[in-house]
Homo-oligomer: A and B are copies of this chain.
């Protein structure tokens, strides 16, 4: 059972203490508090764990300071939407950037960091185009053990410093071991926290439960969990729940295409029709990765690249975040060059996504109006 408090109630208020005390008095029940402090309001959710069968939901709803009580269904206890009308806020704020099911951030950047020059060119282009988020790969899991595996910790300092220099607030960065978490923390400290990091867990580690537990136990960094490319959506959502069950709920869920030759000639079968599904089943913002799904710069006869079409498809269905590969000189990229967009294509790509986002917003406004009319 989840008890949601009134949004004005802070952790150090008397009201807060009172309601906690009443809840603690319930027999055979332990509390677990999750608080999300936004700039405008506070979201406080209190999980009642234990012998919840004997609780009276209606009674608890009348406790002073309680806004709502939601019964938890079996699946995705923490992340799930548990009932029709479970409209708890779905957002978190990190380093000044709000991630929610209601907005969109584009993380254009380098699939793999190669040289400081390329990193700087990328960062500068982002700033010029008004962006505060990026993707930068330092640790690259590669199918073949003899392939380039990323510069790892050796590039972190300059990546973070350059990010700071160009006003980047959040870098999505894949990690494949808990040590990488420590290395990132250390580099951020050393460089004076010029930027923030969203830890990315890739598709090959979606069910690396030990990594999930480790990342879930810290709350400094939010997490982008990519869907497993060969497992069901349900299994991947359960993997996200691993993170949450350890304490970290600042999770974005990433779609990146499914591994099957039914997707040929694309690298994967683009699965962005699942954007609204993840939003229906859970409270997580949803990210799409058109670059790795499509895997080619092929262009349709209308002049638009297939990566762009996939990207627009994600956005018009309400995607909240996007990873997209750019590179100043794709032919020199050490990883996944062929699919990278060019720096000069960035402004135009962003404009294209803007059109798709506006279309989504128009569509959402239309349905909202229709629902309002119907309910009157």
Contact = CB atoms under 8 A, between A and B. Distances in A.
Nearest to A202: B207
A146 to B, nearest CB: 7
Contacts of A303: 364, 367-368, 370-371
Given A145-B245, A208-B205, A301-B280, A294 B273 contact: yes
Given A238-B143, A312-B317, A356-B359, A276 B348 contact: no
Interface string A295-316: 0001111111010111011001
A326 B302 CA distance: 31
Contact of A273 (B229, B261, B306): B306
Nearest to A370: B348
Given A266-B273, A300-B279, A317-B312, A242 B208 contact: no
A25 B317 CA distance: 57
B265 A143 contact: no
A244 to B, nearest CB: 8
Contacts of A143: 207, 235, 238-239
Nearest to A180: B210
Nearest to A239: B143
B266 A258 contact: no
Contacts of A90: 301
A230 interface: yes
Contacts of A10: none
Interface string A243-264: 0010000000000001111111
A234 interface: yes
B277 A101 contact: no
B262 A258 contact: yes
Interface in A174-219: 176-177, 204-205, 207-211
Interface of A: 77, 81, 87, 90, 101, 141-146, 176-177, 204-205, 207-211, 228-235, 238-239, 241-242, 245, 258-266, 269-277, 279-280, 293-294, 298-304, 306, 308-310, 312-313, 316-318, 348, 351-352, 355-356, 358-359, 362-364, 366-368, 370-371
